[in-house]
Amino acid sequence: MLVWGVAGFLIGIGISLIREQLNSTFSNIQRIEEELRVPLFGVVPFLKLDATSSTAERHYIENNRSPFAEAINHIRTGILYSDVDDPPQVVLVTSSVQGEGKTTVSSNLALAFAQLGSTLLIDADLRRPRIKRVTGANSPYGLVDYVAGEVKLKDCVNRDANVPGLYVINGGTPPPNPLELLSSERLRRIMQNLRSKFQYIIVDTAPVLPASDAIVLGQLVDSLIMVVQAERTTGNMAKDAMKRMAGGNVVPTGIVLA
C-alpha cells in the first residue's frame, strides 16, 4: 500500500508539472514583469455586462466609481508619470494578437484622458476598425480619407456628445494597403499637426504579430502600451511581439493585463 501511495503522489506531482508547462499564459503580475521586463501599468478587471449595461468600451464614463474605472485611472497615471519631465502626449495601444482587449483599453483611456483636457481618439486599426461602432462617431470619413487628402480635418473629427473634451477619428474607407498609408510622410505631418490641436492623443492600432502597423506608428508616438489578456496571451506570443517591436526600434512603455 505504501508503494502505491508513493507512486500516486509522484504521478500527481508529474501531472501538475506538465499542466504548469502547458499553461504558459500570463496569470500573475510578477511573471509578466519578470518575463517581459516592462513595467505593468495596471490590471483591468473582467467586465460581466448584462443587457442593460453599457458597452465595455464606454464603461469608464458610465461607471466612473467602479474598480474598472479605477484601474483605467491607474494606467493613465502610469503613462503620465513614465516621463515626469516630458509626459507623453501621444499614446499608442496595441497587443500581440486580436481579441486581447486593446480597443476596450484604448477607448476607456481616451475617456479618462478627456477628464484632463482635450483628447483625440484615433482608430488606426485599419484592418479591423471598431472605434466607430463603440463610440457612435457618425462621420462617414476617417483617418484613411484624411491622409489621402480627400477631406479636411473638420470633416472627419467627431465630437463625443456625452463627453466634453473627447474627439474621435474613425478608420474611414478601408484602404487596399494599410501599411503603406500608415508609413506615409503625410501621416507623419498630420500627427505632428494634431499635437498642436489636442492635449492628448490615443491611437488604437492593429496587433503586432499579424501586421507591422504598430511598429510603423511606434515611430510617431511618445508612449506605447501593450495589452495582454490573462489566461490567453502566452509568454511566447508576448515575447515574439516584443522581439518584432525591438527589431523596429520600438519599446513598450508599459503593459496592461486585461
Residue identified by cell 474598480 is 67
Cell of 47: 467586465
pLDDT for residue 46: 82
User: Mean pLDDT over all residues of the chain?
Assistant: 87
CB 140 within 8 A of CB 112: no
pLDDT for residue 54: 59
Cell of 206: 492593429
pLDDT for residue 153: 96
pLDDT for residue 27: 62
Residue range 145-174, pLDDT digits in tens: 999 999 999 999 999 988 999 999 999 988
- Pairing relationship of beta strands 200-205 and 223-228 according to DSSP bridges: unpaired
pLDDT for residue 12: 46
Nearest to 196 by CA among 92, 90, 95: 90
CA–CA separation, 255 and 100 (whole Å)? 12
pLDDT for residue 6: 43
pLDDT for residue 234: 87
Domains of the chain in sequence order: 28-257 (3.40.50.300)
- Residues (pLDDT < 70) of the chain are 1-29, 49-54, 133-134, 136-137
CA–CA separation, 204 and 192 (whole Å)? 17
pLDDT for residue 174: 87
Cell of 149: 487628402
pLDDT for residue 8: 46
Cell of 249: 526600434
CB 41 within 8 A of CB 74: yes
pLDDT for residue 50: 56
pLDDT for residue 28: 63
pTM for the structure as a whole: 0.87
For residue 35, the tally of other CB atoms under 10 A from its CB is 15
pLDDT for residue 73: 98
Cell of 190: 498630420
Q: Which DSSP symbol is given to 197?
A: T
